[in-house]
Amino acid sequence: MERDWHCDVPEQRLVWAQATSEALKIIEGKWKTIILCQLFAAKVPLRFSELERKIEGVNQKMLIQQLKQLEKDGIVLRTLYPEVPPRVEYSLTELGTALGPSMAALIEWALLRRETLGLESG
């Protein structure tokens, strides 16, 4: 959807600012963005143990907490298979997949910022 950034309605600009803040709060945090990038890159559901291996430095408690929050926010789907032992997989919901273009835009902006300011990638 195109935005009229020259909007003369101050209330509309406030709505945009509030919506942007809301979106950033949902995905903020070191682990959530890494989880999302791993799920985007995988293109298939990942088991908990696979996610844990792919995310260096995260502990199990933190990973569970972040996945629960992403699930609560409708971004990640947790599927429990009634097997022995139980198998749990995580994937992006339709809402989570819709974040793709925004995540790509943020990555491009971050890389442009690094290049513009002469910062090292890290």
Per-residue pLDDT of 83-100, as tens digits, reads: 998 899 999 999 999 999
Dihedral angle over CA of 29, 34, 35, 41, nearest 10? 150
Q: What is the pLDDT of residue 1?
A: 66
Q: What is the pLDDT of residue 122?
A: 61
Q: Note the pTM of the prediction, 2 decimals.
A: 0.86
Contacts of 37 (CB under 8 A, 6+ apart): 103
Whether the pLDDT of residue 114 is over 70: the answer is yes
Q: What is the pLDDT of residue 10?
A: 85
Q: What is the pLDDT of residue 9?
A: 83
The pair of structure tokens assigned to 22 is 């809301």
Per-residue pLDDT of 48-75, as tens digits, reads: 999 999 999 999 999 999 999 999 999 9
Whether the pLDDT of residue 7 is over 80: the answer is no
Beta strands in the chain (DSSP E): 46-47, 76-81, 87-92
